[in-house]
Amino acid sequence: MPRLVVVSNRVAVPDVTGKGTAGGLAVALREAFQGYQGLWFGWSGRVAAQPSPLPRIVDKEDVQYVLLDLTPLDRREYYNGFANRALWPTMHYRVGLSDFSRADYTGYLRVNRTFAVALAKLVLPNDLVWVHDYHLIPLAAELRPLGLANLIGYFHHIPWPAPEVLGTLPGSTDLLRAIMDFNIVGVQTERDADNLRRALIQELSAASQKLNVLGAHGKSTCVKSFPIGIDVSDFQEVAARARPNRIVSQTIVGLGSRKLIIGVDRLDYSKGIRERMEAYERFLVSNPDERGHVTYLQIAPTSRSEVPEYETLSRAVNETLGRINGSLGEPGWVPIQYVTSTYPRSLLAALYRLARVALVTPMREGMNLVAKEYVASQDPLDPGVLILSKFAGAAQQLTGALIVNPNDKFEVAEAIREALRMGHEERVARWRTMIGPLRDRDVSWWAAAFLKELATQ
């Protein structure tokens, strides 16, 4: 049995309770280790003026967590800079927000080289190496010259845009060249796979060698979609047996007979939070009889707050929120409740189950696991309704949702109205079309399918 070496920008080291961070990526990558021994390598999340070149190692069960600190300059250029100010907006089709700087790009390459040098010392000849996320696209190209001939796979969690969009970013052709050093590249949807294959053909003159495999400059790589899933049974169980804690009980009391609409997203412009609030405002304006009978709870943990575009977004969301609550609220009713804390999975599952409607309306997103978690958390006998953006990868699978264009406030407002009025029979029928495929393609399917494909390259 080969060992598994996972590499990602952030590493979720389990805490003393053995659970650690409960985010989607953390859960998914822990699942990847089922049946494997190995190590998980990445940034510790810490910054040090002179980081040790030797990583800090934490052993927990069968997994060794290997953590490197970054310098303040690394964090600025690699994480806040090229990864989150240039690549992230471009990959999400927000070319206007993309701010390329050659210094940042150099820093991004430098951190990838630093990671490669530290990692190369730890990898054994038969290890399977699985790299995650846009922070580390050049990693295989940095590892190969250090003598690593291992099978190396990459999973791209965010959208892969059309070649015309990616091509606007300086350095993107180099990134495509670097991609060819992976044996396999996994993306979320067929649309992403098609975009990446077209970019390789157009920019590198890559040629098709066999199904899903493209060759260029003496290298070949397989490009395939593997839609990421969630731990469906765990979510169902947690949601069903949730003992009301203080927050859930308060929410129930606060709601009274009102229906709950929920949104849960990192505070990011790709999630369409401000646009969603405006669509809800439109709904309240067009349906005055609904005022006071519905509450929209938006949970939006603050994210990447050192990046200027996120600061601007935070201000814009607060302004929109204040305007809507001020103009439409009443002394006994606040139309939108907005919180920026992070909550544990068990609490989210309980809130999802309470909510009659989930609003998942990203402007563009690789997959979106909240949509899947909402569906998994529902009471099968009385499920709620999912409103889902056509630009989330999840829309390819969750066809029982009300699919909307998040740019069209009137369409989203109409979907809110339809969802709130939807009869029991239709809610159950729609939910049933979604839960089966979610169970078939859960997180263990995702990890096993990718690793099987990597091992057979």
- How far CA 152 is from CA of 50, 113, 234, in Å, comes to 30, 16, 30
Does 10 participate in binding ligand F6P (rule CB under 6 A)? yes
d(CA 376, CA 37): 29
Interior CA angle at 218 toward 165 and 224, to 5°?
50
Closest residue (Cβ) to ligand F6P? 25
Does 304 participate in binding ligand F6P (rule CB under 6 A)? yes
Does 224 participate in binding ligand F6P (rule CB under 6 A)? no
Instruction: Name which position in 30, 157, 356, 409 contacts ligand F6P (CB under 6 A).
Output: 157
Q: Which is nearer to ligand F6P, 304 or 441 (CB)?
A: 304
Q: How far is the CB of 386 from ligand F6P (least distance, A)?
A: 20
Does 133 participate in binding ligand F6P (rule CB under 6 A)? yes
Count of CA atoms in the C-beta half-sphere (13 A) of 126: 5
Residue at token pair 């590493």:
11
Does 158 participate in binding ligand F6P (rule CB under 6 A)? yes
Whether 424 contacts 418, CB under 8 Å: no
d(CA 453, CA 457): 7
Whether 366 contacts 157, CB under 8 Å: yes
- 386 is written with which tokens? 């999912």
Residue 330, strand partner residues: 333
- 224 is written with which tokens? 């395939």
d(CA 285, CA 283): 5
Q: Which is nearer to ligand F6P, 85 or 304 (CB)?
A: 304
Q: What is the amino acid identity at position 196?
A: L
Q: Which is nearer to ligand F6P, 142 or 268 (CB)?
A: 268
Q: Which is nearer to ligand F6P, 144 or 372 (CB)?
A: 372
Q: How far is the CB of 124 from ligand F6P (least distance, A)?
A: 26
Annotate each residue in 25-54 with x if it binds ligand F6P (CB under 6 A) or - if it does not, as one string.
Answer: x-----------------------------
Binding residues for ligand F6P, how many (CB under 6 A)? 8
Q: Which is nearer to ligand F6P, 74 or 133 (CB)?
A: 133
d(CA 295, CA 255): 7
Does 23 participate in binding ligand F6P (rule CB under 6 A)? yes
Does 430 participate in binding ligand F6P (rule CB under 6 A)? no
Does 303 participate in binding ligand F6P (rule CB under 6 A)? yes
Q: Can you give the binding site for ligand F6P, defined by CB under 6 A?
A: 10, 23, 25, 133, 157-158, 303-304
